[in-house]
Amino acid sequence: MKWSVVNRKTLFKGFFQLSELKITHQLFAGGESPLLRRELLEKGDAVALLPYDPVRDELVLVEQFRIGALDDLSGPWLIEIIAGYQEPHESPESVAVREAMEETGCHIAQLQFVQRYYSTPGGSSERIHLYFGFTDTSAVGGVHGLEEEGEDIKVRVVSSKTAFEWLDKGKIDSAIPTIALQWFRLHREEIRRKWSGDSETRSQTDEV
């Protein structure tokens, strides 16, 4: 299947970029589409991380103001997981570790890759690199974030049971934490067996 970008124009460029594209593409039934006009929100790649303490069976979540939920009846503060955008010189793993420290003060001893996926490909180029991380939650908490980026992030350390209850009741209602927690629910027992081993194994970064 082939496609052609006939014209591409930048409509707005700020923290994100909005572009207008005129394209054609081949059709499944044969032939070619008419000239289509599409807007594309160009956001780049983001990295998300769900930290977990297998000894305490606790997860590290974050709560912060989100402009996209401004009109939500329950308010624009959402419970999510650690996330941030990847700079050109950074690996996804380094972003995960950096964002964990900036947003929660949380040290990540081991990373496990979960998956890459497009968040909303109908109108955005954003791709998420999702990770799961081993940590010690005994000293994690408080309010964090970079002042220069206007971040005001409340750390919530909760049991797996509480996190699953919040998910099932709709208290957690955005895509990234939903995908991360559903993955964790499927793999929780396996993870607890694997990460409750010796400290030497848990101190190494492991991408699988």
Q: Are 170 and 134 in contact (CB under 8 A)?
A: no
Query: What's the N-to-C CA distance of the chain in angstroms?
Result: 31
Backbone dihedral angles phi then psi of residue 76, each to the nearest 5 degrees: -90, 15
Q: Hey, what amino acid is at 41?
A: L
Nearest partner of 33 among 25, 22, 44, judged by Cα: 25
Q: Are 180 and 133 in contact (CB under 8 A)?
A: no
Helix, strand or coil, per DSSP, at residue 139 = coil
Helix, strand or coil, per DSSP, at residue 194 = helix
42 is catalytic: no
Number of Cβ within 10 Å of residue 192's Cβ equals 14
Backbone dihedral angles phi then psi of residue 105, each to the nearest 5 degrees: 65, 25
Structure tokens, 198: 């010796």
Helix, strand or coil, per DSSP, at residue 151 = coil
Candidates 148, 149, 189, 200; catalytic one = 149
Residues marked active site are found at 149
